[in-house]
Amino acid sequence: MLALAHAATTLGVEGHLVRVEADSSPGTPSFTLIGLPDRALAEARDRVRAAIFHSGFLFPAGRLLVNLAPADLRKAGTGFDLPVALALLAIDEQVGREALSRVVAIGELALDGTVRPVGGVLPMVIGARRAGLSRILVPRANVDEATLVERVTLYAIEHLAEAIAVLLGSGERFAVTRSTVARPLPTPRYDFADVRGQAVAKRALEIAAAGGHHVRLIGPPGCGKTMLAQRLPSILPAMSEDEALTVTAIRSAAGLPLPAGGWSVERPFRAPHHTITQQALIGGGRYPAPGEASLAHHGVLFLDELPEFARATLEVLRQPLEDGVVTIGRVAGVTTYPTRFTLIVAMNPCPCGLRGQREGECRCDDSSVARYLSRLSGPLLDRIDLRIPLARLSSEELASKGVSESSCRIRERVEAARERQRQRAGQRGDVLNATASPTMLRSESSIKPDALQLLQRIGESSRISARAFDRLLRVARTIGDIAGHERILTDDVAEAFSYR
């Protein structure tokens, strides 16, 4: 007797549909699970058996074989418990086979039949809808994230018996509708109004927010590098619904807790410690999971004390910075993660951090400074658009009672600049200057002849790389957008070069 159920799993940050095929044949009672299950999934045999018994149903007799297809896709986690149990119950028609074949079931089973929540439900529901199945059983604790997906019918389940009741025709009691509550607006914890002085750095971060550019902050300890970086998300525009859904799906796939209501409304800000590994930074593992670079997608990745990171760890950021994605090959398959973030790095000018301050404070010799800076490769630094030196604030600046410009005012200019970029991109959508095509930026309608001549003279005299030349043009275009210039002016190019 053959029965079919549907489950879902995640590979990277994408959900995939899995067929759960259950078969019973005469012979010595046994239970075999095949289809590349991991250890946690292999233990489902004992959990499912106990859950069926304690829920008051009969465990099928004979030699039981459960196949998870496609067989070449590795399956991990405990979210297969519920569909495996339902497939076994359908063998002897305790559950209708026809009804079961039209739904997707997700959930871990406790020994008493309780359905427990699992990670990655949001991408699983998206994957099920993409595969053409719109009726989905989910643990009640995962309902908030599941209801973010449109055009699906969801059933919130707390027990195996409730899942069976849905399949027997009593689904109305457990059906839930998509949340129609508007996404709440983000409420940033930090504000640029708190920052004293550092006008150049604040201007550079405004440019970074407007055009999606990367920033390097260099200064002594206590000058405000971390304080400035933490406030960058407060001047970024609110996420669109598609961006919020993607960010939420990444957090769900990574197993991180989601905010109340399901939506991730605040742009991510990730600040990993300098001891982080390559795998933790860009993702991977035996069963691939998102790393910090993907968790910062549509937000900010902040690397403090940059030279303290292992050089090999920093080098893996080259592809994410250039392409906005990272592709990782593992035994479980090839996975692509989105990594379109704004990178902010902070570092001291020397090992003691006091070089360039008052005479006599820094005791580092030139060789120790050279060794300190040699931990960073030229190709990585070449991908950073804005390089901002910071100095300690004077006592007068610290004691000043003046009020700095708020994040709200700065964000208005950022949003206006991004709107100009959207209009220029046309049908290509929301394309920031940091990722726009060079052809569009170099067109006669985008830059004035004298500004282009200045840009060429800078390239010849400074001997910058082709990538640095291109990034200089992009920053100049963003400065022009903030000022409302239709075409790039010489002043825009000059200011952009001052940040190199």
> Tell me: the pLDDT tens digits for 170-207?
878 888 876 654 566 667 788 888 888 888 999 999 99
The two structure tokens encoding residue 270: 């990730």
* Predicted pLDDT of residue 130: 92
Give the CA distances from residue 494 to residues 56, 148, 218, 477, in Å, rounded to whole numbers and listed in that order: 77, 46, 21, 12
User: Rounded mean pLDDT of 385-391?
Assistant: 90
* Predicted pLDDT of residue 386: 94
Asked if the model's pLDDT at residue 431 lies above 60, the reply is yes
Provide the residue ranges of all domains of the chain, joining segments of one domain with +: 2-176, 192-237+268-409, 437-498
User: Rounded mean pLDDT of 269-280?
Assistant: 94
Q: Which position has the higher pLDDT, 394 or 421?
A: 421
pLDDT band at 479 (very low <50, low <70, confident <90, very high): very high
pLDDT band at 491 (very low <50, low <70, confident <90, very high): very high
User: Rounded mean pLDDT of 81-85?
Assistant: 94
Q: Which position has the higher pLDDT, 137 or 172?
A: 137
User: Rounded mean pLDDT of 393-410?
Assistant: 78
Q: Is 19 left (phi over 0), alpha (psi -120 to 50) or beta?
A: beta
CA pair distance 466, 450, nearest whole angstrom: 20
Asked if the model's pLDDT at residue 67 lies above 90, the reply is yes
What CATH number should be reported for the domain whose range is 2-176?
Answer: 3.30.230.10
Of 135, 115, 140, 111, nearest in space to 125 by CA: 135
Asked if the model's pLDDT at residue 443 lies above 80, the reply is no
pLDDT band at 444 (very low <50, low <70, confident <90, very high): low
Q: Which position has the higher pLDDT, 224 or 105?
A: 105
The two structure tokens encoding residue 300: 């900010």
| Least confidently predicted of 187-196, 240-249, 279-288, 427-436 | 427-436
CA pair distance 286, 284, nearest whole angstrom: 7
Q: Which stretches does DSSP call E strand in 298-372?
A: 300-303, 325-330, 333-338, 342-347
* Predicted pLDDT of residue 278: 92
User: Rounded mean pLDDT of 50-75?
Assistant: 90
Q: Which position has the higher pLDDT, 3 or 366?
A: 3
* Predicted pLDDT of residue 155: 94
- Distant-in-sequence, close-in-space partners of 162: CB < 8 Å, separation ≥ 6: 115, 174
CA pair distance 491, 477, nearest whole angstrom: 11
Average pLDDT, the chain: 87
> Tell me: the pLDDT tens digits for 25-42?
888 888 889 988 888 888
Would you say the pTM of this structure is higher than 0.75?
yes
* Predicted pLDDT of residue 333: 67
* Predicted pLDDT of residue 277: 93
CA pair distance 47, 118, nearest whole angstrom: 15
| Least confidently predicted of 45-54, 244-253, 353-362, 374-383 | 353-362
- Chain centroid to Cα 100, Å, comes to 34
Q: End-to-end alpha-carbon separation of the chain, Å?
A: 71
* Predicted pLDDT of residue 270: 95
Helices (H), 3-76: 39-42, 44-54
Asked if the model's pLDDT at residue 260 lies above 80, the reply is no
**φ, ψ (nearest 5 deg) of residue 173:** -65, -25
**In this structure, what DSSP letter does residue 170 have?**
I
User: Rounded mean pLDDT of 405-430?
Assistant: 86
* Predicted pLDDT of residue 475: 93
Architecture category of domain 192-237+268-409 in CATH: 3-Layer(aba) Sandwich (3.40)
- Using an 8 Å Cβ cutoff, are 1 and 91 in contact? yes
Q: Which position has the higher pLDDT, 186 or 166?
A: 166
Give the CA distances from residue 246 to residues 187, 337, 427, in Å, rounded to whole numbers and listed in that order: 20, 11, 21
| Least confidently predicted of 86-95, 117-126, 303-312, 361-370 | 361-370
- Using an 8 Å Cβ cutoff, are 192 and 329 in contact? no
437-498: CATH topology is Helicase, Ruva Protein; domain 3 (1.10.8)
* Predicted pLDDT of residue 344: 96
pLDDT band at 332 (very low <50, low <70, confident <90, very high): low
CA pair distance 397, 399, nearest whole angstrom: 5
CA pair distance 187, 189, nearest whole angstrom: 6
